Structure 1
């Protein structure tokens, strides 16, 4: 029997039946590409995420800095790729940038942006939702959060696309690799100039806050700050953009929920939680075993690449009854969609707030959405799962 390939077209289009079979028959096993180990059950995934002494976040470094990139990627210095105690120090330094007060202060900006984009959507009626709404809404939020010039939005989007493609660009695609290297050069130079400017004149923004931060008299280095800013731009862009996309996709497929949420707005947060569970933006997070260990009754060798299938854990029947049904009224929460333990996503509150505000504005102006494609084509990135495009027609309220 051949091994499952996570990149096969059938798996990319609908991975959930394959995940279910693995949970039943081989919850911890090797798959392709490259014979990586996968972990599919909720409890085993949580156990691995908690055990940072054995399951190292260095496992994700291969995606940001593959050998064929032939240069250092500053994103590899971010806390998402660090283990305690280094991760703990970085996380403590940036915690204050994502406090409830900070997120609350950004909500008026989120709402005005969403209202403007929704008005444009309603006027045009037909749109490709990802590029024309989700991407624009999120990049404007991140530009506001970091304190960057809004005129550079298109440049930041291009940077994000190039950085996401690092782990999926073929070693033989020399032209594309050259483009990515130029992007990294541009980003580093821009960030270095930004830090120098803020040091001359501190402002009320995230960059200045990071430069001021002190924990036990320790400050972030320029390398740390640049890595954090790139992480916010790249991870914050890709994940929340995907959440917004899945939200609208599911509403188009289940129009009854448009009327239900409009009539019962108190259900909106639970609807978002179910979107996160049912179609999580992040499907896989990688770890590297630092020693031989056992997980789910299976011996794992040292230095093994481990793919924790969050998308499978969030459909685990032992944790979520009737897991393959989309039910926003279920009580179980989908916090695993943002990771668990030491690496729980700092931007979770920001993402949830952005999703709520966008959904409230969409419900205010839109009666329903209709998909304008017979079949969606899905991306080929291991850690995230999202349609390449979401063409929709908007029926105004």
Structure 2
């Protein structure tokens, strides 16, 4: 029997998961042991097959994001008036439809340039000058700047500190979700902390609510009839979802390209950027497990799921089961964009994510030489696996 040892890139990815939450390091063996579908005590139904996962995402009649075991249920306890009714049903669909054009490809590309163009140019200049750059810190500022602009919050043009402080608050809020394997019912102490952090993150919404442009999320929410408090809640949800996960992918993609040596191929052919982004999103799958609650008896994969059951979609395992990071892998239909979810809850910011990563990689490659990692530190005890520090410099 031939045993394939993990590559350097895979070791670092596993270490990131273990540092964030030790249980995350068990995703691969748990996924393999439960494929395609199995009920695990205190965890729920574990879905480790891509087609079954897609069925769960598409079937909003029997599976809900707003009940125990799912993210909408957790968020509704943190966001006050922006409650469970806007995670499912007609109100959810109306809100998504009203915001869709803000996240299209043209709007996203322009937004990234306006929000981060100067920061990206600083990155290129620093690298060309031989300076060491902490990509983890860069990612925190980069994602926060983008989401502040798309939301319509007041921007800071000259300093990074406000964005780092905002990102730190968003991380602390997300980290309150650690350990929600059995239930998403939030203990009172964590609920209080969460609402305090949400109030801090959304503190400036009231200052711009009346004047925000309809080309921003805050202005559009107002125009759609959401109250100030409801708009504040959605803004917090949006900026947290659009920063922490992308910062995770951005840093890990830089490390993957370094550890696999594939940065050399990109430097020789920038046309491979779309493949690098697709592979980076697939391999990192920064939301490794996605929960749903069963709201109606249903058959899935030959098994009978009952109302009140919980489902865990093993996104990271499913996406990584097709192979290592590989620029030659190509489009794999069975895992197509599963990292963005599916159905009515397919990630609203998917096009924005691609625009951000494309512009970032273009800037990194424009420096003209391979980079080396001089220091890396994993973030410990975190909800989303990501680098706390990732120093690079050009060779």
Tell me the TM-score normalised to structure 2 length.
0.80
How far residue 147 of structure 1 moved from its aligned partner, in angstroms, is 2.8
How far residue 394 of structure 1 moved from its aligned partner, in angstroms, is 1.8
Match of 1:336 in 2: 338
| SS of residue matched to 1:150 | coil
How far residue 353 of structure 1 moved from its aligned partner, in angstroms, is 0.8
Q: Residues 57-72 of structure 1: matches in 2 within 5 Å?
A: 57-58=65-66, 59-64=70-75, 72=78
Partner Cα distance (2:382, 2:165) in 1: 23
Deviates more, 1:232-241 or 1:44-53: 232-241
- Is 2:212 the partner of 1:212? no
- Deviation per CA, 1:349-384, whole angstroms, max 9, x where unpaired? 0001100111111122251232635x8566542xx4
Partner Cα distance (2:72, 2:217) in 1: 25
Partner Cα distance (1:104, 1:249) in 2: 24
Judged with a 3 Å threshold, the aligned counterparts in structure 2 of structure 1 residues 107 and 182 are, in CA distance, closer, same or farther, namely closer
Match of 1:296 in 2: 301
- Deviation per CA, 1:306-360, whole angstroms, max 9, x where unpaired? 11111122134xxxxxx22221222225411111111111100000110011111
Partner Cα distance (1:220, 1:231) in 2: 14
Partner Cα distance (2:188, 2:233) in 1: 26
Q: Residues 222-237 of structure 1: matches in 2 within 5 Å?
A: 222-237=228-243
Match of 1:271 in 2: 276
Match of 1:163 in 2: 173
Tell me the TM-score normalised to structure 1 length.
0.79
How far residue 288 of structure 1 moved from its aligned partner, in angstroms, is 0.5
Judged with a 3 Å threshold, the aligned counterparts in structure 2 of structure 1 residues 60 and 139 are, in CA distance, closer, same or farther, namely same
| SS of residue matched to 1:37 | strand
- Deviation per CA, 1:214-261, whole angstroms, max 9, x where unpaired? xxxxx3343442233112210001121111012112012112x11111
Partner Cα distance (1:238, 1:78) in 2: 22
Partner Cα distance (1:267, 1:240) in 2: 20
| SS of residue matched to 2:153 | coil
- Deviation per CA, 1:34-80, whole angstroms, max 9, x where unpaired? 333221110000001010010011132343356xxxxx52495388x
Match of 1:46 in 2: 54
| SS of residue matched to 2:61 | coil
- Deviation per CA, 1:270-311, whole angstroms, max 9, x where unpaired? 111011112212212211001222212222221112111111
- Deviation per CA, 1:167-221, whole angstroms, max 9, x where unpaired? 23898895x76554432333455323331454xxx575442244335xxxxx334
| SS of residue matched to 2:204 | helix
Contact 1:77 1:223 in 2 (8 A): no
What 5-or-longer segments of structure 1 have no aligned partner?
1-5, 67-71, 214-218, 317-322
Judged with a 3 Å threshold, the aligned counterparts in structure 2 of structure 1 residues 182 and 227 are, in CA distance, closer, same or farther, namely closer
- Is 2:162 the partner of 1:148? no
| SS of residue matched to 2:125 | helix
Match of 2:209 in 1: 195
Contact 1:63 1:166 in 2 (8 A): no
How far residue 267 of structure 1 moved from its aligned partner, in angstroms, is 0.9
What 5-or-longer segments of structure 2 have no aligned partner?
1-16, 157-161, 181-185
Equivalenced residues, count: 360
Contact 1:285 1:310 in 2 (8 A): yes
Partner Cα distance (1:75, 1:280) in 2: 30
Q: Residues 92-131 of structure 1: matches in 2 within 5 Å?
A: 92-109=97-114, 110-120=116-126, 125-130=131-136
How far residue 102 of structure 1 moved from its aligned partner, in angstroms, is 1.2
| SS of residue matched to 1:85 | helix
Judged with a 3 Å threshold, the aligned counterparts in structure 2 of structure 1 residues 173 and 54 are, in CA distance, closer, same or farther, namely closer
Match of 1:368 in 2: 371
Partner Cα distance (2:211, 2:255) in 1: 42
Q: In angstroms, what is the RMSD of aligned CA positions? A: 3.1
Partner Cα distance (1:18, 1:267) in 2: 33
Contact 2:154 2:204 in 1 (8 A): no
Partner Cα distance (1:19, 1:325) in 2: 16
Partner Cα distance (1:224, 1:291) in 2: 29
